[in-house]
Amino acid sequence: MELWFTEEHTDNVRFTMKVDKHIFSEQSPFQRIDFLDTYEFGRVFALDGIIMLTQRDEFIYHDMIVHVPMAANPNIKKVLVIGGGDGGSVRELTRYSTVESIEMVEIDRRVVECCRDFLPQTSSKLDDPRVKLFYEDGIKFISTKHKEYDLIIVDSTDPIGPGEGLFTEAFYKNCFEALKDDGILVNQHESPYYENTASLMKRTHKRIKQFFPIAKVYQIHIPTYASGHWLFGFASKKYDPVKDLDDKAWNSLGLETKYYNTELHKASFALPNYVIKMLEEA
Ligand code: AAT
C-alpha cells in the first residue's frame, strides 16, 4: 500500500508527497511532532501537520535567514535565535568565527531532542561551545532584555499555536528594546500569495514598521512551503540591507553556500508589484 503525506495549503489547495517510511510521531505538550522519509524531499519534519523543513530544501531557508543579516553587518557578535529548534539557523551562524555567542530559545524541548535523533543535518552544531540553549517561551525570554543583541532571528512557526505571540506588537517592541543601537531583527514573515497567509504577512509588516526605522521584506523560494513563495522580514535600527551591504567583505570570508550569494542578497529585496502594494497598504 502507498503512503502519502498531505498538507492543506488553503481550504481548496493541498500539497501531497509520497512517503517512503514513517519515522516517528509524538504529541508533545505543545504540538504534534512528525518525521517522515519521502522520495522527493528526503526526511521531512512537520509540526501540527505543517512542514517545518525538509532535508532537500532547508538550505534555502537557513541560508537566507542567516547570511542576509550577517552580510549586512559583518560585526555581529551576539545573536539570539527564537524558535528554530531543528538547529538549522544555529548551524549557519556557527560558520562565522566572528560570532561569539548564540542563544537559542525554543519553547518545545522535544523538538530539539527529536531533531538531534532524526535530523543530524540541521542539529549537528547545537553543541558548539558558543551555543546556549534555553527551553522557554521566546515571548517571555525577550521581555527582560535591554540592548543586548546585535541580531535577533525569529525562526518561528506560523501564528497559530505556540508561535502566535511571536507575531504581536508587544513582542516586536521587546525585540527593539533587546537589540543594540545598530541591531537587526530578521523574522519568518509568511507568504504573500494565498489570502490566508497574505493577511498575516501584511499584519506582521504593519506591526514591525511601527518600531523600526528600516523595515523591509525579502523573498525566498521554498518548494515545500505554501505557494513556494515565502518572505522574511529585515528590520533594523541602522543598517540598510542593500545600501550597506559590503559584497567584498562577505565574499572574502570564503563561505561556501548552496543558495545565498551577494547578488541574490540584493535581488531578494526587489519585490513583485502586488507585494509592494500589499506592504504599502499595510
Ligand atoms: N527552521 C525552520 C523550522 C521552523 S520551526 C519553528 C520552531 O519555533 C518550532 O520548533 C517551535 O516549537 C518554535 N516555537 C513556536 N513558538 C515558540 C515560542 N513562543 N517561543 C520559542 N519557540 C517557539 C520554522 C518553520 C516555519 C514554517 C513556515 N510555514
Q: Summarize pLDDT for 84-127 with one digit per residue, the tens.
A: 999 999 999 999 999 999 999 999 999 999 999 999 999 999 99
Q: Summarize pLDDT for 204-233 with one digit per residue, the tens.
A: 999 999 999 999 999 999 999 999 999 999
Q: Summarize pLDDT for 190-201 with one digit per residue, the tens.
A: 999 999 999 999
Give the pLDDT confidence score for residue 1 in this predicted structure. Answer: 87
Give the pLDDT confidence score for residue 14 in this predicted structure. Answer: 98
What average pLDDT does the segment 141-170 reach?
95
118's enclosing H/E stretch is helix 109-118
Q: What is the span of the domain harbouring residue 104? A: 58-281
CA distance 232 to 259: 15
Residues 24, 119, single domain; the answer is: no
Residues 49, 65, single domain; the answer is: no
Of all protein residues, the one whose alpha carbon is nearest to atom 1 of ligand 1 is 84
Give the pLDDT confidence score for residue 54 in this predicted structure. Answer: 98
Out of 37, 155, 182, 244, the active site residue is 155
For residue 88, report the distance from its CA to the centre of ligand 1, in Å: 12
Would residue 34 show up in a list of annotated catalytic residues for this protein?
no
ipTM confidence score = 0.98
CATH of the domain at 177: 3.40.50.150
CA distance 187 to 128: 23
Residues 158, 27, single domain; the answer is: no
CATH of the domain at 17: 2.30.140.10
What is the count of structural domains for the chain? 2
For residue 56, report the distance from its CA to the centre of ligand 1, in Å: 19
In the structure, which protein residues have their CB atom closer than 6 angstroms to any atom of ligand 1? 47, 50, 52-53, 61, 82-86, 88-89, 105-108, 111, 137-139, 155-158, 162-163, 165-166, 188, 225
Give the pLDDT confidence score for residue 160 in this predicted structure. Answer: 85
CA distance 152 to 167: 14
Residues 146, 270, single domain; the answer is: yes
Q: How does the average pLDDT of the chain come out, rounded?
A: 97
For residue 158, report the distance from its CA to the centre of ligand 1, in Å: 7
Rounded to whole angstroms, what are the CA distances from 244 to 1, 97, 98, 162, 247?
55, 21, 19, 35, 9
Residues 173, 268, single domain; the answer is: yes
Residues 180, 125, single domain; the answer is: yes
